Amino acid sequence: MATTVEQQRWLTPGVGSVGAASFFSDAGHEIATAVLPSFLTGVLHGSAAALGLIEGFADALTGVAKLLGGPLANDPARRRRLATGGYLGTALATGLIGAATAVWQVGVLRALAWTSRGIRSPSRDALLASVAPSHAYGRAYGLERAGDNLGAVIGPLLAAGLVAWIGIRHALYVAFLPGILAAVAIGVAAREASARDSVRRERPRFAWRALHEAGVIRALLPIALFEFGNVATTLLILRATHVLTGHGETATAAASLAILIYAAHNAFGSVVALAAGRWVDHAGPAPAFAAGGALYVLAYAGFAVGVAAWWWLLAAFILAGAGIGLAETAQSALFAALLPDRLRGSGFGVLGGVQALGDLVATAVVGILYATVSPAVAFGYAAAWMAASVVATGLLNRRRQASR
């Protein structure tokens, strides 16, 4: 009976607070992301090229910060400070964008916000592993991913209402508030982890040999293949907008409908992440990860064909949302289970670096193919990477069975 009760109590205040932190933080910076194009071009009179440069540089910094922040998160005390400080730094830098009077100031603040976001990620993931029971890593990381995806639904909706109510600049100021709530929430998890952690000090190091011996390199093979096909959702929105515009919709109506469908993508991804967590805890991360890749293959096939019907595009977006909900939950749970606590920071940092590099390359290549060849070829290229990740997951499973 004691074991049953213990296994039912996986949703501790610490686990729940990490999910809440992801929800609040994502809602806050999604407000800023939704408003930023209008603020930069309409208020500060910047160019679309400046917006692209700022966003591309910020995304690249996120990946570097994840990689460098990993070894710092190996130490339990330091990871708690980094997680709390990272959420606070993201909130402050995001809110201060509203006070910017020049494009370069927006660039600096966006870079600071995204660097804070990147450096906190390995600490947050390692922190979650330290407060979640090992039999419920899937559910814990599924809850965290669900919170992140749900924030991506609420944020743009709040942005639309705030812009109409108080204007663009003041909407950016308000984006600071959810970020502060995120910092408070992660502080709850930090306190719970502090009560559980043993007293030890870990010096910052990547520990490549130890990570390799733990099986990280082998685990990264299917993940890297997946990420090299994981394009930014902005390209999915662009494809939907072009398809709808090319078949009679006005540009405004097509853009509005595409954004609403994108919101459904995030909402569905949130629900699937919760279900994926239970599946991972029951069957392990490999089946859920492979299913995520397979769903992306179907989604990209839908975008490649490009049927000009809202229900077709909605189905493609939902398939992609389900795919990311499955795959991201499986990836995080895999690394939490694979590594001891003293290596989790480094492991999650390497995972974040691979994800960022893969996403950057995937989006760049697919964007070039989209513009110079055809959308069908572009999404076919991305689908091929996803199919390869599914095959690699199967090969790893067979190799593992053969070694037993």
The domain limits of the chain are: 12-195, 205-404
Tokens coding 241:
């907008």
Which CATH number is associated with domain 205-404? 1.20.1250.20
Between 385 and 255, name the one with better pLDDT.
385
Per-residue pLDDT tens over the stretch 18-69: 999 999 999 998 899 888 888 888 889 988 778 878 887 888 899 899 999 9
pLDDT at 79 over 60: yes
What φ, ψ does residue 253 adopt, rounded to 5°?
-65, -40
- Confidence (pLDDT) at 200: 60
pLDDT computed for residue 254 by the predictor:
77
Q: Which CATH architecture has domain 12-195?
A: Up-down Bundle (1.20)
Q: What angle do CA 45, 162, 124 make, to 5 degrees?
A: 95
Lowest mean pLDDT of 2-6, 10-14, 103-107, 359-363, name the range. Answer: 2-6
DSSP string, 8-39: H----HHHHHHHHHHHHHHHHHHHHHHHHHHI
Q: Mean pLDDT across the chain, nearest whole number?
A: 89
Q: What is the pLDDT of residues 101-160, one digit of tens each?
A: 999 999 999 999 999 999 999 999 999 999 999 999 999 999 999 999 999 999 988 988
In the predicted structure, residue 329 carries a pLDDT above the cut 60: yes
Kindly report the CA angle at 208 between 14 and 353, in degrees rounded to 5?
Answer: 60
What is the band of 288 on the pLDDT scale with cuts at 50, 70, 90?
very high
Residue 258 binned pLDDT confidence (cut-offs 50, 70, 90):
confident
240 class by beta-carbon count within 10 Å (0-12 exposed, 13-18 middle, 19+ buried)? buried
Helix axes 375-403, 341-372, angle to 10 degrees: 150
pLDDT of residue 120: 95
pLDDT for position 197 = 65
8 burial (CB, 10 Å; 0-12 / 13-18 / 19+) is exposed
Domains 12-195 and 205-404 share a fold: yes
What's the pLDDT score for residue 242?
84
For tokens 């096939």, what's the residue?
Answer: 301
Which pLDDT value is given to residue 201?
A: 64
* Number of residues written out for the chain: 404
Instruction: Say what the pLDDT of residue 159 is.
Output: 87
What is the rounded CA–CA span in Å between residue 32 and residue 39? 9
Measured from the Cβ of residue 275, the count of other Cβ atoms closer than 10 Å reads 17
pLDDT tens sequence across 343-390: 999 999 999 999 989 988 888 899 899 889 999 999 999 999 999 999
Give residue for tokens 């809850």: 143
